[in-house]
Structure 1
Amino acid sequence: MINDLWYKNAVVYCLSVETFMDANGDGVGDFQGLQRRLDYLSGLGVNAIWLMPFQASPGLDDGYDVSDYYNIDPRYGTLGDFVEFTHSAKQRGIRVLIDLVVNHTSDQHPWFKQACADKSSRYRDWYVWSEKKPENADEGMVFPGVQKTTWTRDEKSGEYYFHRFFKFQPDLNTGNPYVQAEILKIMGFWIQLGVSGFRMDAVPFVIAEKGADVKASKPQFDLLRRFREFLQWRKGDSIILAEANVVPKENLQYFGDDGDRMQMMFNFHVNQALFYALASADTRPLAKAMNETRERPQTGQWGIFLRNHDELDLGRLTEKQRQAVFSAFGPDKDMQLYDRGIRRRLAPMLGGDPRRLKLAYSLMYSLPGTPVLRYGDEIGMGDDLALEERNCARTPMQWSTEPHGGFTKAEKPVLPVINEGPYGFEHVNVAAQRRDPESMLNWTERMIRMRKEAPEIGWGTFSVLDCGDTGVLAMRYDWRNNAVVIIHNLHDKPVEITFDPGVGDSGHVLIDIADGGDSTADEKGRHNMVLEPFGYRWYRAGGLDYLLKRSDI
């Protein structure tokens, strides 16, 4: 077993260059601004930065409509600025992952323009065409309620082109060997400029069979192996973090039985069950989801997250569970999106309650996998529901009480900074929280340090312990003769629990490594404790000499 897989015990920080820091005063974040904030991210303790799309784009879908894969949107700077940024990140021990959006291009991409202008163009077969509008053209939309069809007529050629997303995002024909070769070239280009891997967008669509005659699309899983082989050859420790919201029985096909496809996948199954647990104080579906996603190759890893740049997708919950989450966290229609999810940030979803926020993030850091933190969540940023669709949770970072939260000196930022209410930048910002030892920011720094010092979570195996209360999640991780026990009370009231850590004599004393006190077992080896409402405990079994007891394999 390779013992230095960096992503197994990392903390990933997701951000958008556009809304993080504006250095040149034009109202739009840029790479120079991001570079100036690297010391902040280093101090936070993150191992890797995941950048949302920044390549050249008309910007109709927040950069997920790429018009040039080999260049940067000029609003964010130049390729030279990007290389300076990746170099500076490397100096601080921070890796850079970037979004790879290759299911589709922008309709303004030169490939698509040529494909439309000339049916004999070499780029014609790089897209998916049909002479007639297919019968299933009104099915399978990614954005129901906003998107009307998946096939649109091109006026120039008179034929219909396929687009799983919006009509300005024509799908690439990823079954075409020339398209596949181009995708590898794109990956190689950015690897050469200093990135350590990619978050691959919409992976199930990338590998799907496409065409008007395709009735039951079969995934081209071999394509994932090709991506992996190429990356491993160009840069041995680079990774792909796959966005694949699939049912648990399909997970291994994305990882590969032998771990020869994707290194990481987001665990959407656990994410949805986690929000149901937070809404209902019932941890049983969460424990079930963790068990259903337990199996993965030794080199595979889950990405564990709470909120990301999209809506909170609840599509895999039962109708009753989904309504419970909607009722708790997004009861109003303007908080919901695409008939399946909630578009809010976490802090307002949890009513701004610091106890609930810390409980939720403690869960994120302690569930099986690698935590992925969203920019601004370390200070409890809010959302602006007046903004359209997903933009409500994509507002600029709030750095200080300076105008526009210290994000820009321009009169008008690219998106309005939240400036009213309890989540306005005058109340929620980095500078103020730095000075408060009990702030969310300083708590997050401590949690990240503690998470990195508990590699059992990233590398080990987990067991759910019986504590006699379905509203309390008690877990034990085992790895190399070491064990940690982590407990979360999802109730809004104090509870008393009793449990056996299940590690024999070494479980007699549980050493608190977070904020509370140690626990000593009774003569039967059972621990009894009272947990405050939304309380949590992180324990190390045995003693603080655990490193002396750790085995090499």
Structure 2
Amino acid sequence: MTASPTPSSPSTPWWKKSVVYQIYPRSFCDSNGDGIGDLPGITQRLDHLAELGVDVVWLSPIYKSPQDDNGYDISDYRDIAPEFGTLADFDALLAAMHARGIRLVMDLVVNHSSDEHAWFQSARTRRDSPYHDYYIWAEPAPGGGPPTNWEAAFNGSVWEWNEPTGEYYLHMFSKKQPDLNWENPALRQEVYALMRFWLDRGVDGFRMDVINMISKPWRADGSLPDAPVVREGFLQPGFALTCNGPRLVEFLREMREQVLDHYDTLTVGEAPMATIEQGIALTHPENGALNMLFQFEHMDLDSQPGHSNGKWALKPLDLRDLKTTLARWQTALDGQGWNSLYLSNHDQPRPVSRFGDDRRYPVESAKMLATWLHGHQGTPYVYQGEELGMDNVAFDDIADYRDIETLNIYRVATQERGVAPRDILRSIHAKGRDNARTPMPWTGEAPGAGFTTGTPWIRLNPGFVRSNAQALRADPQSVFHYYRELIALRKSQPILTDGRFELLLAQDRHVYAYTRTLGDETWLVLCHFGGGEPEGTPRAIDGADDPTWSRWLAQGVQGTRVIGNWPGPERVALAGLTLRPWEALILALD
């Protein structure tokens, strides 16, 4: 067992001042040449994280798993997948992290298990199995067929027939990921026991996968309702009914009382479709259950809501929508909860391709997005490769993709919905999860980019020649070193942790501006989302309709440069201020 780094004072929990780095183990570093990243590989690369300055590592699932959904289908919660290593390798990794002052957060996946877990293997054999009620079962609908019209996240019905018991079982994701029955107190105690197993081993907290789906919307007669019909001929999304169920807060508060209150942890719950009210209820410092949530409002702004192709139906981002969404969460949770701050993770495309300009201004837009994110109130999350400015991939052949969601939508779109392959590939290039899962490039050397000496499990991003850790760590002007500056600022400047947020220039289509205020100190964060019109020209800030900006101009307000991604003077006047393409600037105002 290893000791965790020293906790911070109760008034400012350590996780509020921390920056978290997510590792996707399969793609981080391969130590044995089999093409799959592993725990010893992570241990070998910890100096990269120490130099970056992160405080916490969130490790995506490393448990035993058939890998139907790349580890989010767990067959043994207390052991390590052989391709990643052993428990001894895990203990060595944890000790090496703690020796560097880095905490470790594990992925907790307890909305569902693998169908190869011993619980389900017993549960599906007979109705009187002691594990049968660990899962959710239903009789066929009158006249036969699935009990409800819900559609799974990975397409198709959420119900799978189980011949031995003559029932359907529920799976909100793959059919190899049966949902766990949180109504069963025995199941909940199993979950709490496995959490203690890892916490007692020295782990510092959990990222909880789709945790707001654990409470299902049961009716009084013990059945589940159909989803409202929104498009004839298709199964209906069950997400809207299963997220934020009636006993969610109760279950999570029980988890906190029985487990989390007895450890010094960071907890973040993945919460699709969470509302502001639910965010406060779950993260309130006095009666909440978790430290923070991953909400998805800002991740859905460049898709068409209600479209049959869901997130794959693309639309351009309107910056005003992003402002409205983030400002609502920033303002509402101030003092009432806590925000997580993220632009990417293992399920999202690369931000420099999605929200920036990965062709003309890859470095500038990567730095601008980082500034925009880290300037907000909350705990920032950096996904592996984000600090290198990694971009999306555009594989021409669907055979080069590995993600189950991507492969399923390609099949459904082309075979069932008549979408041309080139059209669905365009959406996959923009939104596919494999964009984030290509191997971490440690060097610019072919063929393995320092990730592996073998054949990688998925193709490398061809940009590894320029965007690799070795090259960027050697370049003091790189995205990597800009991230280092931002992370160091967060550690040294309380205003970034505790300062109040206020949105400015709400209707500006190109400039995202906000302030952080703590006591008598105010910082102004300016971020230009664009390359200028015509291309490459600076953009003048028009704040005539913003009373705060107009007052500052009348007062001749100036500021001292704190950080920025373009060179410029130390003293900056707001009057006549222009922003260059994808420019970010933080000013400490007089």
TM beyond 0.5: yes
Q: Within the alignment, does 1:492 sit opposite 2:531 as a pair?
A: yes
Tell me which amino acid in the other structure corresponds to 2:434. Answer: N
Tell me by how many angstroms 1:291 deviates: 3.3
Q: Which residue of 1 aligns with 2:132?
A: 124
Q: Which residue of 2 aligns with 1:517?
A: 569
Secondary structure (helix, strand or coil) at the match of 1:295 reads helix
Contact kept? 2:280, 2:336, Cα under 8 Å: no
Tell me by how many angstroms 1:89 deviates: 0.7
Match of 1:226 among 251, 254, 257: 254
Q: Which residue of 1 aligns with 2:365?
A: 356
Tell me which amino acid in the other structure corresponds to 2:441. Answer: Q
Q: Which residue of 2 aligns with 1:80?
A: 88
Match of 1:266 among 294, 298, 319: 294
Q: Within the alignment, does 1:406 sit opposite 2:434 as a pair?
A: no
Tell me which amino acid in the other structure corresponds to 1:286. Answer: L
Q: Which residue of 2 aligns with 1:333?
A: none
Aligned pairs (5 A) from 1:66-465? 66-133=74-141, 137-143=148-154, 147-209=155-217, 213-215=223-225, 218-220=245-247, 221-235=249-263, 237-245=264-272, 246-256=274-284, 258-273=286-301, 282-293=318-329, 294-296=331-333, 298=335, 300-311=337-348, 344-349=349-354, 350-352=357-359, 353=361, 354-384=363-393, 385=395, 386-388=400-402, 389=406, 390-402=433-445, 403-410=447-454, 412-418=455-461, 420=462, 423=463, 425-465=464-504
Counterpart-to-counterpart distance in 1, 2:93 and 2:335: 32
Counterpart-to-counterpart distance in 2, 1:455 and 1:266: 23
Counterpart-to-counterpart distance in 2, 1:472 and 1:280: 16
CA RMSD of aligned residues (A): 2.8
Relative distance call for 1:507 and 1:271 in structure 2 (3 A) is farther
How many aligned positions are there? Answer: 496
Tell me by how many angstroms 1:190 deviates: 0.8
Tell me which amino acid in the other structure corresponds to 2:351. Answer: L
Counterpart-to-counterpart distance in 2, 1:273 and 1:484: 27
Contact kept? 2:63, 2:81, Cα under 8 Å: yes
Tell me by how many angstroms 1:519 deviates: 3.9
Counterpart-to-counterpart distance in 2, 1:478 and 1:527: 21
Counterpart-to-counterpart distance in 2, 1:40 and 1:453: 21
Tell me by how many angstroms 1:518 deviates: 3.5
Counterpart-to-counterpart distance in 1, 2:539 and 2:66: 54
Tell me by how many angstroms 1:459 deviates: 2.0
Counterpart-to-counterpart distance in 1, 2:100 and 2:210: 31
Q: Which is worse superposed, 447-456 or 23-32?
A: 447-456
Counterpart-to-counterpart distance in 2, 1:468 and 1:219: 37
Counterpart-to-counterpart distance in 2, 1:452 and 1:507: 31
Q: Which is worse superposed, 69-78 or 509-518?
A: 509-518
Q: Which residue of 1 aligns with 2:421?
A: none
Tell me which amino acid in the other structure corresponds to 1:345. Answer: R
Secondary structure (helix, strand or coil) at the match of 1:122 reads coil
Relative distance call for 1:270 and 1:455 in structure 2 (3 A) is farther
Contact kept? 2:151, 2:158, Cα under 8 Å: yes
Counterpart-to-counterpart distance in 1, 2:12 and 2:437: 34
Tell me by how many angstroms 1:2 deviates: 3.6
Q: Structure 2: state its 5+ residue gaps.
A: 1-8, 226-240, 305-314, 407-432, 533-537
TM-score, scaled relative to structure 2:
0.78
Q: Which residue of 2 aligns with 1:52?
A: 60
Tell me by how many angstroms 1:510 deviates: 1.4
Counterpart-to-counterpart distance in 2, 1:468 and 1:181: 50
Relative distance call for 1:271 and 1:116 in structure 2 (3 A) is closer
Tell me which amino acid in the other structure corresponds to 1:387. Answer: Y
Contact kept? 2:17, 2:497, Cα under 8 Å: yes
Relative distance call for 1:174 and 1:47 in structure 2 (3 A) is same
Identity %: 31
Contact kept? 2:36, 2:457, Cα under 8 Å: yes
Relative distance call for 1:369 and 1:234 in structure 2 (3 A) is same
Relative distance call for 1:289 and 1:23 in structure 2 (3 A) is same
Tell me by how many angstroms 1:357 deviates: 2.1
Tell me by how many angstroms 1:54 deviates: 0.6
Tell me which amino acid in the other structure corresponds to 2:223. Answer: D
Tell me which amino acid in the other structure corresponds to 1:513. Answer: V
Counterpart-to-counterpart distance in 2, 1:219 and 1:397: 41
Counterpart-to-counterpart distance in 1, 2:38 and 2:124: 33
Secondary structure (helix, strand or coil) at the match of 1:378 reads helix
Tell me which amino acid in the other structure corresponds to 2:540. Answer: E
Q: Deviations over 1:260-317 (max 9, x none)?
A: 21111124224445999xx868543223213322222737321111122114xxxxxx
Contact kept? 1:255, 1:297, Cα under 8 Å: no
Tell me by how many angstroms 1:64 deviates: 0.5
Relative distance call for 1:428 and 1:491 in structure 2 (3 A) is closer
Contact kept? 1:364, 1:371, Cα under 8 Å: yes
Counterpart-to-counterpart distance in 2, 1:35 and 1:488: 36
Tell me which amino acid in the other structure corresponds to 1:223. Answer: F
Tell me by how many angstroms 1:135 deviates: 5.5
Q: Structure 1: state its 5+ residue gaps.
A: 312-343, 543-553
Tell me which amino acid in the other structure corresponds to 1:417. Answer: L
Q: Deviations over 1:84-122 (max 9, x none)?
A: 111111111111111100011101001001111232111
Counterpart-to-counterpart distance in 2, 1:517 and 1:148: 57
Counterpart-to-counterpart distance in 2, 1:267 and 1:453: 27
